[in-house]
Amino acid sequence: MTTRDRPQRADATRNRAALLAAAEAEFAERGLDASMADIARRADVAKGTVFRHFATKEELIAAIVGGHFQALTEVARALGDAPDAGAALVEFLTMAAGGQAHHDLSFLQTVTEGDSTVAALRDELHAEVEHLVARARDAGAVRHDLTGTDVWVLICAPVHATGFVRDPGPDLWRRYLAIIVDGLRPAGAQPLPGPAPTWP
């Protein structure tokens, strides 16, 4: 009845944050099979507390993925009207890869296919990427046949590539981002084969 605002959110907020952090770490280490029990232990809370905050494992994953989309959307927005459109796109890709470098969680996206909240955040980010690419294309900074969706699918590539060597240094992804960025440039570009993918 007297729900009032929400007073003692102190520990609850702390727990939620601890859970998200623990979950990211566990998923990064163990993959999709990371168990809710291990996540709870890592966050130093009881099993039941995980489910109080995230009713299902999917909901927890959705919170993680959605959070990352939101953070990247803010990055993209901040770059959306930078004077050098080509540099803005590169900066965006650098920030995106840098964020993944610690924990590559891109594989979590497959689980969130059916989640409309995540889908909305994903579409929002995609639109920003499309905008960054359009500006870079108009400025002649990237090849003319490149679409926002092309860039979208390549966002995770630099970090993902580093997963194939034993001990990737913390900055190894920068090499592969550089290669891909060079591949996006108009200079000496061979025409891209096939039609661009449609979104969604």
Partner DNA sequence: CATGAATGAGTTTTCATTCAT
Partner DNA sequence: AATGAATGAAAACTCATTCAT
Nearer to DNA, 20 or 101 (CB): 20
- Identify what 48 binds: its own copies, DNA, none; CB under 5 to 8 Å per kind: DNA
CA 20-23-27 angle, to 5 degrees, is: 140
Using CA atoms, how far apart are residues 96 and 101, in angstroms rounded to an integer? Answer: 9
168: left (phi over 0), alpha (psi -120 to 50) or beta: beta
Minimum distance from residue 70 beta carbon to DNA (Å): 22
Task: Kindly report the length of the chain.
Answer: 200
Amino acid identity of residue 103, one-letter, is H
Site pattern 111..140 for its own copies (x: CB under 8 A): ------------------------------
Query: Counting contacts by CB under 8 A, is residue 42 touching its own copies?
Result: no
The CA angle 40-41-46, to the nearest 5 degrees, is: 55
How many CB atoms within 10 Å of residue 117?
13
Closest CA to 95 of 63, 124, 73, 119: 73
Binders in 27-66 for DNA, by CB under 7 A? 33-38, 45-53, 55-58
* Residue 199 interacts with its own copies (CB under 8 A): yes or no: yes
In the complex, the residues that contact DNA under the rule CB under 7 A are: 1-3, 6-12, 14-15, 33-38, 45-53, 55-58
Which residues would be at the binding site for its own copies (CB under 8 A)? Answer: 1, 31-33, 44-45, 106-107, 109-110, 146, 149-150, 152-157, 160-169, 171-172, 174-176, 178-185, 187-190, 192-200
